Chains A and B, each alone.
Chain A
Amino acid sequence: MKRPVYIREASAIGPQPVFDTDRLERVAAYAGHPLKAVVPELRRYVDPVRGRRMEKVARIGLASALNALDRAGGAAPEAIIVGTGLGCMESTERFFVPLLHNNEDVPNPTAFIQSTHNNVAGQIALATRCTGYNFTYLHRGISFTSALLDGWVQVGLEGRGTVLVGGAESITPDYYLVQRRSGIWKQHDVPNLEVLRATDGGALCGEGAAFFVLGDTPGPGSAVRVVDVDISFRGGPGSLRDRVLAFLDRNGLAAGDIDLLMVGRNGDGPQDAAYKPVEEALPHAGHAAFKHLCGEYFTANAFGLWLLWSGMRTGHLPPEALLRERPAGPLRRGLLVDHFQRTDHSLVLLEVPAA
């Protein structure tokens, strides 16, 4: 039997000042990239000694996860599901580079242990004493939405009460260079608030974490529901626009039912073109974007979902996020449409039930 799945609470950390709040008030502008996550005071959640030994992705992932649970009234998760495209790259490099340079003479196993891809999910489990289901997805642009889909199935179809899902990513300077050489980042600096006007290729690189407490009942201040999640490789057999309309159709909705469309435009001109037919198919909705605010990274769509959730929960979105104003009226349904490099496609439908 299908049950509703609520986002009881959420928490994000990133280049924007969003930690421990449900809205983005003052948008931060950056002159260049990579955009860096602003790491908040973590003493509340991470023992300073342990925190210093953790790499950035683990610190922001753990803090965002624990903050989300805190905001949900100290909820204890029955399952923990994390998405991260690169995992613990900093520890990987700390073990890997000396190994290559010193004829495989490696000092100690600490970095190797910390490089394990499911380290962040394991740290959250240790901190929450959660002995239940513990999964980590590492699949580029759908790392987070794979975790979301799994959690949505657990609560909606498998009867779990509280499930924590999230995404966390942090780029190392070395791997930023490798990815830049592979062509996915812009070769020059562009102010982040202007990047969506760019027509050349490449995105601005960013980083961040966002976690969501999913549950079968509404949270203290959040009645936003995750109605459906869709993931496809190369957008499925047809066009992205067709995939979106079929997704709405399977949920008994038409294009006119969507009040707010949140797209993954990142300033890579040729790749952003894929969103245009989708935007044109939803002419009555407001249009917003998020990757110029947080930068592009494998789990950027976790921030996109956070921003959509924030808009639906509070009725507020910063003007910098809006591509097209929405006609007045209640904001009932929001749709996230995101792709990474035109290979990994995610659709997420949120809804605030009618009072």
Chain B
Amino acid sequence: MSDRVAITGMGVVSALGTNVAENLRALLEERSGIGPITILPTRHRGAIPVAEVALDDEALGALAAPRSLRSWTRTALLGLCAVKEALAQAGIDPAAERTAFLSATTAGGIDKTEPVYDRFYLPEIPEEVAQYLGTHDPGDHAQRIAAELGFRDLVTTLSTACSSSANALMLGDRLLRHGLADVAVVGGTDALCKFTVNGFNSLLILDHEPCRPFDRDRAGLNLGEAAAYLVLETEAHARARGAEVLAVVRGHANTNEAFHATASSPDGTGAYEAMRQALAMAGLAPQDISYVNVHGTGTLNNDASEGIALARLFGGAVPPFSSTKSFTGHTLGAAGAVEAVYSVLAIRHGVHFANLRWRTPLEEAALVPVTRTERGVPVRHVLSSSFGFGGNNTSLVLSAPASMP
């Protein structure tokens, strides 16, 4: 084990905006990105609210600006935008050093397979269809982004449902600590598609109104689309090249409930263990945590078990907490990284973000989240949780750099 891992660059595209500054502004102004479907072609338009990135594919392509737009899925374009922003802030050229690219997704390139799928089997495939023959699988987006930006070292994709990109961050931290990479670009991307909208709709866990995480009367989640990436390097590496350290990674843990294929255990054991182990790795006590960015999807099951786990871990002194999914919706494979970026913003700008639309405490745990965005509060250590489908739970502890007062 060498020294700690620093975060030196961040990029994010979500319903709150196409860069970090726009996302921060929306969070500070309590402006939610959840609204009616305007881009995804689906029969659920008008019935189910989502948090779309407010750019159609053409505008997104222009913003991401790959050398050629051939074969780029929406998932890959979202990712490219966020990776570029993160690299620019960090001042990193992926080709210059051993730069790992660790990316997460759940839907992969399915957003472009859907509209053309039947035409894959035509005797003659038109070019506008043929370009997507090899873009369906999860690895496609990472490979495309890596090729575009000149990554040459370890480039890999992971997918563990809703904890995917938190796990990418965890993996990057581990590789850097062991000296297996010089820099790691970590995060995730997921575009909205019919597959996920209908999948979650068939599970009966989509709220037909904007979601109400941690509220007694919550009725499910809203899906969102986003990409978020962070540049990680050891503190020594950052110091040596004079890079500004935005925050440091102090702890992380991944646990698996082995309880059920989709549901989390009602007593929140997996969530509790992930948070407890992440704190233990960070060498912090529960009272050291200044703010918790909870998973908080707004489903009956998640918020109940997460609430019980919070109450158990923190006793009567649960720190200020909120679910920023009340702004961004649940962005699945991107969610862990989006919330890691927001956690760093909370540290940098001294903010507790609001948990929008909250009114009444849960029946399972009488917890009151942050209801209005609070500014000018010292935030040193943030606990950020991402709990997946099937009980794959990850918690991260991100902290202010030592030099920050």
Contact = CB atoms under 8 A, between A and B. Distances in A.
A177 B137 contact: no
A240 B285 CA distance: 48
B115 to A, nearest CB: 9
Contact of B203 (A109, A132, A179): A109
A233 B146 contact: yes
A182 B133 contact: yes
Interface in A174-227: 174-175, 177-179, 181-182, 184
Contact of B270 (A95, A103, A121, A131): A131
Interface string B122-159: 00010000100110111100110011000111111111
Interface in B355-393: 388-392
A11 interface: no
A266 interface: no
A97 B113 CA distance: 11
Given A86-B137, A109-B199, A131-B255, A104 B42 contact: yes
Given A104-B44, A146-B156, A157-B178, A112 B117 contact: no
Interface in B94-118: 95, 101, 106, 108, 110, 114, 117-118
A271 interface: no
Contacts of B273: 131
Contacts of A142: 156
Contacts of A103: 43
A179 B392 CA distance: 31
Interface residues on B, range: 35 or more
A310 interface: no
Contact of B120 (A86, A119, A178): A178
B348 to A, nearest CB: 30
A155 interface: no
B19 interface: no
A182 B134 CA distance: 6
Contacts of A137: 156-159
Given A87-B159, A177-B120, A181-B125, A343 B143 contact: yes
Interface residues on A, range: 35 or more
A85 B139 contact: yes
Contact of A232 (B138, B142, B147, B152): B152
A135 B106 CA distance: 13
B209 interface: no
Nearest to B389: A116
A179 B161 CA distance: 25
Interface in A92-150: 92, 95-97, 99-100, 103-104, 106, 108-109, 112-119, 121-122, 125-126, 128-140, 142-143, 146, 149-150
Contacts, number: 178
A283 to B, nearest CB: 28
B305 interface: no
Given A118-B390, A135-B254, A95 B159 contact: no
Interface string B37-62: 00000111000000000000000000
B334 to A, nearest CB: 15
B198 A138 contact: no
A281 interface: no
A248 interface: no
Contact of B256 (A87, A116, A117, A134): A134
Contacts of B121: 174, 177
Interface string B169-196: 0010011001010000000000000110
Contacts of B262: 113
A114 B389 CA distance: 11
B256 A158 contact: no
A86 B136 CA distance: 9
A234 B152 contact: yes
13 contacts: A100-B118, A108-B202, A113-B261, A122-B261, A132-B256, A137-B159, A139-B157, A153-B178, A181-B130, A231-B156, A233-B155, A234-B147, A298-B137
Given A104-B44, A109-B202, A233-B143, 20 more contacts: A92-B110, A96-B110, A97-B117, A106-B202, A118-B159, A122-B256, A122-B390, A125-B258, A131-B255, A131-B273, A132-B256, A138-B138, A143-B139, A178-B136, A179-B133, A179-B134, A231-B154, A231-B155, A231-B156, A236-B153
